[in-house]
Amino acid sequence: MVETKPSLFPSFIENLRLSRNMSREEFLKDILSLRQYSRFLKGESEISNKKLLLMSDRLDLSIFHIYNAFYNSSDHEYNNIHEAYIYLADRHLDKATEKINLINRNDILSSYNKKFYDYVVLATAHRKGAKSPNDVISDLKSLINYSSINERETYSWLEIVILIEIAGVERREKRYTTLSVLEYCLSENKINFSDKSNYLLIPPLYSQVAAIYGNLKQYNKVITIADNGINYCRKYGILNSIAHLFFYKASAEYDLKKYDSAVASANLCMNALNVEGNIVKKEKFSKVFKEEFGDIINNLKND
């Protein structure tokens, strides 16, 4: 997730200069003018490899080590934010807050990583009740320039994560403005994801779309979408979201009075949770099934 925009590397060079306690005049002598360097830092101009080599030599570093340190710095930023994101995804909100608070946003070099940081902060605040649904939806949409979302043919991992987050918040508010975008993401041959790792986000997309259609009481559509998601998980050996997909399928089948199928799907949901090993999540799902399925729940296996 390293960003390589022209403005980032010059900033990294400048930080190296500062870390060496070297004045700009000393650093640039016989290499660049102060004006040229200023334009370089602003991303308004580039400098030749020869001058970069001279600058690295002035810092008593090889250009290879400077580039390597630059990429490692950006990776370190991303990894720290990603740790907070994992806590958020697992609903360990206090740990997510603790981790993200250790990161100084002003120290983040990459604009991608800054957006990732902002997403974790916003989503965590909302889930802890510190930010209203309307505010968090507005802020999340601003992060990904939502007004132009339909004009894109590729989506980054972060854009998809934020779209799923927006859809989840809206769904709880009985609003479904992002449904068409999520369905577009799932439409075969209509989008090529810019990051091959995005295939892991396909099951959560199916899950969110199935949940929305459940809210809209379009139960046959829920079953079709859930089955597509389950088949995708089986094809690629992905466990994430498969329990949710069986859950939404079971609920839809129950509402359609297909009780035997509903119990079968509910059992598959519980089996997936057993594999996942999340006891809290398993107890939550079991409670919902008991409340929703009523008398037929005696056929549900919960061991």
DSSP characters for 77-94?
HHHHHHHHHHHHHTT-HH
Residues 225-234: pLDDT tens digits?
A: 999 999 999 9
Give residue 147's identity as a one-letter amino acid code: S
Taking every pair of Cα atoms in the chain, the longest distance, rounded to a whole number of angstroms, is: 85
In the prediction, which pLDDT does 120 show? 98
DSSP 194: S
Between helices 157-172 and 111-127, what is the axis angle to 10°? Answer: 20
| Residue 44 scores a pLDDT above 70 | yes
Q: Rounded distance, CA 99 to CA 91, Å?
A: 13
Give the residue, 242 or 237, on which the prediction is more confident. 242
Give the pLDDT score at 156: 80
CA distance 185 to 200: 13
Torsion region of 201: left, alpha or beta (phi above 0 gives left; psi -120 to 50 gives alpha): alpha
Distance CA 156, CA 197 (A): 10
Report the percent of the chain where pLDDT is more than 90: 53
User: The tokens 């479904």 sit on which residue?
Assistant: 176
Q: How many CA atoms lie within 13 A of 77 on its CB side?
A: 23
Sketch out the chain's domains with CATH numbers: 10-66 (1.10.260.40), 195-303 (1.25.40)
Lowest mean pLDDT among 92-101, 124-133, 287-296: 287-296
The reported pLDDT for the residue numbered 238 is: 84
